[in-house]
């Protein structure tokens, strides 16, 4: 008998579900309370594994399967003295009597388990559409180690696979497309939305789509899976899309999204939020203060809108698990009171931003907070700038461009979101902006950041600074900035690029005056006309607007992102007319 068994006042903490949220809650609870009885239930066979690493194991970048297992049951048992029960599925919660019903999925045995504190971390499940043929063999989802083993086994046992169809161009879909391509398998990527990675703005998503097609991925956006067509052995022969197109394929991987496993909470009358996740407070308590919810099943406060929503990412899940574990372990069953940790309010869950990144062959796309299309659906006065700059100084070898879009409140300058795409150090820039957003930073704060500068790493005027410069110039009425899709028919487009640039591609009906000739040709312009000034990336057109406004041509707007962004907007809106 151990010391915990001798402690009559020991609290029993039951945690339903492992992985990021549940395992973090369990280990944190033990570090806070050495005497608590901590029981961790996991319906599958692996209690803590790296979800985000699964595609890379399938593709061979991670070669050892063991690397995926973050914390094995033996570690949790021996180091943390946690009662780990894999293949044990909670089937019901009795709030009145503070107990749950559990089924051993291997033996079929059921039993009741009492608790003082209960933490729900059952996660989410892949969405599987109810379409004809969905039960056909070789249709897979990817959510856990068991899914990974099935897919890996299929690929290993069938080395002559010719084609795989990936449905859904979110994070999992894009990662799997890259990994399957690396296995020399032809891939078709299908996305019901009109763009890949729908979280991005269309002009950024088109960069990823171009990268996919340049790597021989067949990308079909604006189309969905209608039927899966089996052969005589009930194996996939082909798929038919909503458009009527039929694709011969050997396997289908569904990456449509996830739905929260909220049934336990629903059956126990624990309130569910508008987005399907369990409602919690900042301590991650549900309406029942003895029950917590964390991870993909819970809703979080989303900072840019101050509304609650599900954010199925590992970072928030880990933080929420740590918070719930802290408070659950501070409970004293003897007097039904809770020990309050020092500065307890500082432990509460901070609003989340959805900061994330994905690699698509040579490109990295990263984002935090609201995209411009999302921000335009809020009731805030929205502004945005797009800038392009090298990830380190151009004179140092290996410099590659990053394109960054900053979204902010046009009244206050509060940063609401950012997205960036490039080959190198993209995540670093988004992490900087996300940190500033966490501290309620504005675009004015961006320009004062003291960031690393050395030729191999950055520039004295980093792209983060440049985004701040562009945004503050707009807020300070130094320049009017518009996005390419805000150019109206009443505006005259003024192209200030060089003659050679203008000859290579041009906007119909645009007026061309190179920047270096602008002062000498300003008499060709009409002060009564509104001009949309455009260059390659937005810098020269900014200089042009400053010349014009100080010389009597005041109705001018700088087209953010320049011709590069305009072309991307055009291509995203009308792919068949991508070339000017």
Report, as residue numbers or ranges, the catalytic residues.
52
- Backbone φ/ψ region at 541: left (φ over 0), alpha (ψ -120 to 50), beta: alpha
Helices (H), 183-308: 202-214, 263-267
- CA-nearest of 365, 375, 58 to 209 is 365
Q: Which residues contact 255 (CB under 8 A, 6 or more apart)?
A: 126, 141, 142, 166, 167, 168, 169, 170, 172, 173, 176
> Which helix (H) or strand (E) segment is 436 a member of?
helix 426-438
Alpha-carbon span 175 to 169, nearest angstrom: 9
Backbone Cα Rg of the chain: 27
DSSP secondary structure string for all residues of 30-63: HHH-TTSEEEEEESSS-SSB-GGGHHHHHTTSS-
Strand order in the sheet with 363-369: 356-360, 363-369, 415-422, 401-409, 382-390
Q: What would the two tokens of residue 91 be?
A: 């089937």
The DSSP letter of residue 560 is T
Alpha-carbon span 429 to 457, nearest angstrom: 12
Alpha-carbon span 339 to 327, nearest angstrom: 8
Give bridge partners of residue 385 from the DSSP assignment: 406
Give the pairing of strands 139-141 and 163-167.
unpaired
Side-chain-facing half-sphere of 477: CA atoms under 13 Å: 4
The DSSP letter of residue 99 is E
Q: For the chain, give percent helix, strand, coil, nearest 5.
A: 30, 25, 40
272, 101 contact by CB (below 8 A): no
- Per DSSP, the three-state class of 374 is helix
Q: Which residues contact 218 (CB under 8 A, 6 or more apart)?
A: 186, 187, 188, 189
For helices 202-214 and 562-573, angle between their N-to-C axes, nearest 10 degrees: 80
Give bridge partners of residue 37 from the DSSP assignment: 12
Alpha-carbon span 353 to 558, nearest angstrom: 29
Give bridge partners of residue 84 from the DSSP assignment: 40
Q: Give residue for tokens 């044990």.
A: 88
Give bridge partners of residue 99 from the DSSP assignment: 94, 114
Q: Which residues contact 71 (CB under 8 A, 6 or more apart)?
A: 23, 27, 47, 48
566, 522 contact by CB (below 8 A): no
Give bridge partners of residue 332 from the DSSP assignment: 337
- CA 31 distance to own-chain centroid: 31
């Amino acid at each position: 008998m151990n010391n915990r068994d001798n402690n009559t006042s020991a609290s029993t903490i039951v945690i339903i579900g492992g992985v990021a949220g549940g395992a973090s809650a369990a280990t944190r609870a033990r570090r806070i309370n050495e005497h608590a009885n901590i029981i961790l239930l996991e319906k599958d066979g692996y209690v803590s594994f790296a979800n985000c690493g699964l595609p890379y194991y399938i593709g061979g970048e991670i070669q050892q399967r063991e690397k995926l297992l973050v914390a094995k049951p033996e570690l949790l048992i021996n180091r943390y003295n946690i009662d780990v029960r894999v293949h044990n599925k909670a089937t019901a919660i009795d709030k009145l009597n503070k107990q749950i019903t559990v089924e051993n999925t291997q033996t079929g045995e059921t039993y009741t388990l009492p608790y003082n504190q209960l933490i729900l971390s059952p996660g989410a499940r892949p969405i599987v559409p109810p379409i004809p043929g969905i039960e056909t063999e070789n249709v897979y989802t990817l959510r856990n180690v068991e899914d990974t083993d099935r897919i890996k086994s299929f690929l290993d046992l069938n080395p002559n696979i010719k084609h795989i169809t990936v449905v859904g161009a979110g994070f999992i879909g894009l990662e799997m497309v890259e990994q399957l391509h690396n296995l020399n398998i032809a891939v078709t990527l299908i996305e019901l939305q009109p763009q890949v990675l729908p979280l991005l703005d269309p002009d950024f998503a088109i960069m990823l789509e171009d990268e996919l097609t340049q790597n021989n991925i067949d990308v079909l956006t604006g189309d969905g899976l209608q039927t899966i067509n089996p052969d005589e052995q009930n194996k996939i022969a082909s798929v038919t899309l909503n458009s009527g197109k039929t694709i011969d394929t050997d396997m289908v991987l569904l990456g449509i999204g996830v739905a929260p496993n909220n049934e336990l909470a629903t059956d126990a009358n624990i309130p569910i939020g508008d987005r399907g996740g369990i409602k919690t407070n900042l301590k991650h308590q549900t309406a029942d203060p003895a029950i917590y919810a964390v991870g993909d099943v819970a809703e979080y406060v989303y900072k840019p809108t101050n509304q609650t929503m599900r954010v199925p990412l590992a970072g928030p899940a880990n933080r929420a698990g740590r918070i719930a574990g802290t408070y659950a372990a501070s409970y004293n069953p003897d007097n039904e009171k809770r020990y309050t940790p020092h500065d307890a309010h500082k432990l509460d869950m901070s609003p989340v931003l959805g900061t994330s990144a994905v690699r698509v062959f040579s490109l990295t796309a990263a984002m935090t907070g609201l995209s411009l299309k999302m921000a335009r659906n809020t009731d805030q006065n929205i502004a945005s700038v797009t800038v392009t700059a090298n990830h380190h100084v151009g004179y140092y070898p290996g410099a590659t461009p990053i394109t960054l879009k900053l979204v902010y409140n046009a009244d206050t300058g509060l940063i609401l979101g950012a997205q960036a795409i490039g080959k190198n150090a993209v995540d670093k820039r988004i992490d900087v902006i996300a940190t500033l957003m966490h501290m309620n930073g504005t675009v004015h704060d961006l320009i004062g950041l003291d960031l690393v500068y050395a030729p191999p790493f950055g520039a004295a005027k980093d792209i983060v600074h440049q985004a701040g410069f562009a945004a503050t110039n707009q807020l300070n009425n130094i320049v009017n900035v518009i996005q390419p899709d805000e150019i109206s028919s009443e505006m005259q487009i003024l192209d200030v690029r060089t003659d050679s640039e203008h000859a290579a591609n041009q906007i119909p009906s645009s007026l061309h005056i190179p920047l270096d000739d602008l002062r000498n040709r300003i008499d060709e312009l009409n002060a009564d006309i509104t001009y949309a000034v455009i260059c390659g990336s937005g810098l020269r057109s900014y200089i042009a607007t400053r010349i014009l406004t100080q010389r009597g041509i005041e109705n001018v707007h700088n087209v953010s992102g320049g011709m590069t962004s305009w072309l991307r907007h055009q291509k995203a809106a009308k792919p068949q007319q991508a070339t000017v």
